[in-house]
Amino acid sequence: MAEGLKAKLHGNGLLLINRVLSWLPIDWCSAVGYWLGVTVGPRNKVRDARARHNLRLLRPDLATPDVIEATMRRYWGNSGRAMTEFSVLKRLWKSDRATVSGIEHLHAARATGRPRIALFLHLGNWELVGPKILDLGENSSQIVQRLANPYRDRIAMETRRPFTGRLIEAGPNAGRQILRALRENGLISMAGDEYLGGKLLAPSFGQPVRTDGNLGRAVRLAKLANAIVCPYYCVRLKGAHFEIRFLPAIELDLTGEDFLQRGVERLDAAITPIVVAHLDQWLMLDNFKLAKPGKAMPPRVQ
């Protein structure tokens, strides 16, 4: 009973904070998130230790104490900003704070006339990527994963309400909706990196790839719909300013009985160096404790 009351009070506190933050200018709201991130984040010793462990393994070039501290401060700061920016996302979506690079890759993929799977990553503020796709003239749907915390989920879904008709909730009944949207609209967006059920499904960081996650679903969808895969991601430049980067489309080899394994390996190799290059902005860095990366891990992008 006491635990339930505590959870309810904490949840209602989140709702109140979200409402108050929504009244602030975008830069102020983001700055509050930065302060909360660097102040509160490191106090969770388990999560902080996991993030530092993963950072040392994946980026040995950042292994000196001063650089580790600076990187962790950026990490917690970005995490805090991304969370409080939920409160002003509707204004962020309408602002000119997200520039675009690689737009020629989006245009080239569209010009093929084939269905496209837009594969995004949880970097910077990933909530900007779906609406930006629409701003650029695409008729797309996005696959979303509901949050375990009902109060955080309520905030997220309320914020996304303008796009409710374009959202497909992940689950056992989503397959037909996804395939129909892909065939009718020409494009769907889904996450390439994935932490689910207490396990990291992607990137693999050089370990054997998992074919039962989103990367495997992307490969299967590509085969069913004759689709190409279009990776893109968002990075934070400074404060509440961002750059959304589109990469060249990936044409998977979907022949042979081992098409799924090869396809997932191809997509994993594409997203891994991007995540490694931007660990200080990656949502999942503190969610798991990585074993030593395998030798097959792709080099990070410069």
In 192-227, the DSSP E strands lie at 194-196, 199-202
The whole-model pTM stands at 0.91
> Domain boundaries in the chain?
2-281
pLDDT at 296: 53
Contact assessment for residue 249 and residue 230, using Cβ atoms and an 8 Å cutoff: yes
| Number of neighbours of residue 170 by Cβ within 10 angstroms | 17
CA angle 232, 82, 238 (to 5 degrees): 75
- Token pair belonging to 10: 């904490």
Q: Are 229 and 242 in contact, with CB atoms under 8 Å apart?
A: no
Q: What is the pLDDT at residue 192? A: 96
User: What does the alpha-carbon distance between residue 290 and residue 281 come to, in Å, rounded to a whole number?
Assistant: 17
DSSP state of 231: E
> What does 234-270 look like in DSSP terms, one character per residue?
EEEEETTEEEEEE---B-----STTHHHHHHHHHHHH
What is the spatial distance between Cα 280 and Cα 79, in angstroms, rounded to a whole number? Answer: 9
Q: How far apart are CA 201 and CA 92, in angstroms?
A: 30
What pLDDT was estimated at residue 299?
Answer: 61
Q: How far is CA 104 from the centre of its chain?
A: 22
What's the distance, Cα to Cα, between the start and end of the chain in Å? 52
**pLDDT of 51:** 96
Name the amino acid, one letter, at 241.
H
pLDDT confidence of residue 70: 97
Task: Give the dihedral of Cα atoms 44, 28, 238, 136; nearest 10 deg.
Answer: 110
Residue 73: CB partners within 8 Å, gap ≥ 6?
38
User: Radius of gyration of the chain from Cα atoms?
Assistant: 19
Strand partners, 232: 120, 246
Low-confidence ranges of the chain (pLDDT < 70): 1-13, 151, 163-164, 294-302
Quick one: pLDDT at residue 275? 97
- Where are any strands of DSSP class E within the chain? 98-101, 116-120, 140-144, 167-169, 187-191, 194-196, 199-202, 228-238, 241-246
